[in-house]
């Protein structure tokens, strides 16, 4: 039996993103995120994404994102929650797993269309 718990298919894609912290995560966390930052996604799905950044952030942190897709003229502005944080290279960078918790219907449709085009 697989331990895979994902509902949505993820695709590998590098998308540059910027974020703004709208609510910090656990009060007892060892990391206090900057108000703003940026990174590059490693993969993306209808339900969330994984991105690399130099800025750690506690689980539960809520972010407002701006996703700029390469070679595409649209920008998405979802809100998301940090559900995973992994440190690499003794703090050289972090992988942050996000779960979208607010994605407008038009943005969701654009994202789904984009994912399906890349699956082909």
Structure confidence by residue, pLDDT tens digits, 5-41: 557 777 788 888 999 998 887 655 566 667 889 999 9
Structure confidence by residue, pLDDT tens digits, 39-87: 999 998 889 999 999 888 889 999 999 988 876 677 888 999 999 999 9
What is the rounded distance in angstroms from the CA atom of residue 64 to the CA atom of residue 39? 13
Structure confidence by residue, pLDDT tens digits, 77-99: 899 999 999 999 988 999 999 99
What is the rounded distance in angstroms from the CA atom of residue 77 to the CA atom of residue 90? 31
What is the rounded distance in angstroms from the CA atom of residue 64 to the CA atom of residue 21? 6
Beta bridge partners of 102: 79
Q: What is the pTM of this model?
A: 0.82
- The fourth-level CATH superfamily of domain 11-119 is predicted glycosyltransferase like domains (2.40.10.220)
User: Any idea where the domains of the chain sit in the sequence?
Assistant: 11-119
């Amino acid at each position: 039996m697989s331990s895979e718990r994902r509902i949505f298919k993820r695709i590998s894609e590098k998308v540059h993103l910027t974020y703004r912290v709208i609510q910090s995560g656990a009060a007892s966390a060892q990391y206090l995120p900057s108000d703003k930052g940026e990174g590059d996604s490693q993969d993306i799905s209808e339900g969330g994404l994984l991105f690399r950044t130099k800025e750690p952030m506690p689980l539960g942190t809520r972010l407002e994102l701006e996703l700029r897709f390469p070679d595409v003229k649209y920008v998405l502005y979802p809100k998301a929650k940090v559900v995973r944080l992994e440190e690499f290279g003794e703090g050289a960078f972090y992988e942050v797993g996000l779960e979208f918790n607010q994605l407008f219907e038009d943005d969701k449709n654009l994202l789904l269309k984009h994912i399906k085009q890349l699956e082909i």
